[in-house]
Structure 1
């Protein structure tokens, strides 16, 4: 399994978190992998074999080869049917709204083909250019040229949304929204109105996902001795509160998560 990340161009670094590539040779012993919400929106291009996304215990659909994965409110399973070879763009929560007119709440828990979000001819040209590029550097150059051409100076994220996201990220999602907004009711209403359109999920949901990322990193890197320590360091009320939120997004307890063969891929992203 070969997973690599790359920094974006300075003109895009406030919107694009990083680019990543993943190569996994096929192994018939491979297990389904659970993908966990991370608070980001991703555009992915798959050059390898098809990837199943399970919609129930036994039913699945095949992911589009070029798609945007919207915000996630729950975990889900994927399973490659052969070799994995993927290039992806990971956007900050408020980043992707700069490039499309579609309300991001329409993308939640969906894999949307890029041809439905951009001009179809442009989307097809982009996909073919990415596929035929000879290496990752060329792919990054192609996607950055595309993204920079899409940026419209008159289109900006509402400051209230961006400031809220920044505050959630800087505090690992632990700061309540009413504290961020200093209990100003008018701002709370503004935030709720714009957040789903520009982020895709509510401020509370995003805060939970960001806090989950912090706990996963601590859990996998063994930065705390006990679950109680992790709970308090991430400002959960107590261990039970931590376990409840963990199960809400991942479907199992923190103890069950460790050494689970379905979690190898998600563990890789958080270590």
Structure 2
């Protein structure tokens, strides 16, 4: 399987964090695990036999939005496939698509169900385009259309809060961010939850977890406490408890998978 992580160009970098591409031409069955990362997204797939999300057992449409992934899931595909995922900074779902982000936490939104929707035309264009670059460009143009139409509904201050949390790897206190933004902490939390579907503290916890997960996957540590203290956990038991909540297994077990 080929995996690409494409850094978005400046035209969409404000609201798109990453573009992920998965392609497989050989393996008869593929399982892709996903854990909480703080970023909802848009997923397009072109497959021989469809794409199923587990443990929900849902066979998914060709293109769909997904919300915050808090509980671990996996994507199951049989045969050849192409999957394109646009990961969004989590402040765009309400503005772009008029949905309550909390409603699709650990769930998804079928774009083909929307009123006055020309998404089927977009799907046809992507399917008829053979080059991956072309498929990505069609999707980027779709997102730019949304941005031009909806930019006045975006909460850019929440976007700044998101960046503070990311830059600190989830360790910065939310109270400190509120002071930087000259916001009452309750106001910050209310606006953050409204726009992203999770609290600022939960987002920070997920970012902190992702930082520790990356360190574990890259084996950038000598002992487990290196991960614990690098990522701001109180102690090893705290780290193990958080890690297991997001992955379903302990760090030690994960490292052996």
* Structure 2 match to 1:11: 11
Superposed displacement of residue 17, structure 1: 1.3
* Structure 2 match to 1:269: none
* Structure 1 match to 2:90: 93
* Structure 1 match to 2:136: 140
Superposed displacement of residue 246, structure 1: 0.1
Q: Give the 3-state SS of the residue equivalent to 2:85 in structure 1.
A: strand
Q: What CA distance in whole angstroms lies between the structure 2 residues aligned with 1:246 and 1:218?
A: 13
Superposed displacement of residue 140, structure 1: 2.1
Q: Are residues 37 and 191 of structure 1, via their aligned partners in 2, closer, same or farther at CA, if it must alter by over 3 Å?
A: same
Superposed displacement of residue 158, structure 1: 4.6
The normalised TM-score by structure 2 is 0.90
Q: What CA distance in whole angstroms lies between the structure 2 residues aligned with 1:61 and 1:143?
A: 24
Retained in 2: the 8 A contact 1:220–1:258?
A: yes
Q: Give the 3-state SS of the residue equivalent to 1:129 in structure 2.
A: helix
1:112 aligns with 2:101: no
Retained in 2: the 8 A contact 1:196–1:202?
A: yes
* Structure 1 match to 2:125: 129
1:251 aligns with 2:248: yes
Retained in 1: the 8 A contact 2:95–2:151?
A: no
Q: Are residues 65 and 157 of structure 1, via their aligned partners in 2, closer, same or farther at CA, if it must alter by over 3 Å?
A: same
Match 1:196 to one of 165, 175, 193: 193
* Structure 2 match to 1:210: 207
Q: Are residues 54 and 140 of structure 1, via their aligned partners in 2, closer, same or farther at CA, if it must alter by over 3 Å?
A: closer
Q: Are residues 246 and 96 of structure 1, via their aligned partners in 2, closer, same or farther at CA, if it must alter by over 3 Å?
A: same
Q: What CA distance in whole angstroms lies between the structure 2 residues aligned with 1:184 and 1:11?
A: 25
Tell me the alpha carbon deviations over residues 86-126 of structure 1, each in whole angstroms, 9 at most, x when there is no partner.
11211122244442211211221112222235743x11111
Q: Are residues 110 and 214 of structure 1, via their aligned partners in 2, closer, same or farther at CA, if it must alter by over 3 Å?
A: same
* Structure 1 match to 2:154: 156
Q: What CA distance in whole angstroms lies between the structure 1 residues aligned with 2:141 and 2:115?
A: 15
Q: Give the 3-state SS of the residue equivalent to 2:97 in structure 1.
A: coil
Q: Are residues 135 and 74 of structure 1, via their aligned partners in 2, closer, same or farther at CA, if it must alter by over 3 Å?
A: same
Count of residue pairs brought into register by the alignment: 254
Q: What CA distance in whole angstroms lies between the structure 1 residues aligned with 2:100 and 2:164?
A: 23
Retained in 2: the 8 A contact 1:97–1:198?
A: yes
* Structure 2 match to 1:43: 42
The normalised TM-score by structure 1 is 0.85
Q: What CA distance in whole angstroms lies between the structure 1 residues aligned with 2:144 and 2:182?
A: 36
Retained in 2: the 8 A contact 1:16–1:95?
A: no
Query: What RMSD, in angstroms, separates the aligned Cα atoms of the two structures?
Result: 2.3
- Identify which of structures 1 and 2 has the higher relative contact order when contacts are C-alpha pairs closer than 8 Å and 6+ apart: 1
Retained in 2: the 8 A contact 1:9–1:144?
A: no
Q: Give the 3-state SS of the residue equivalent to 1:154 in structure 2.
A: helix
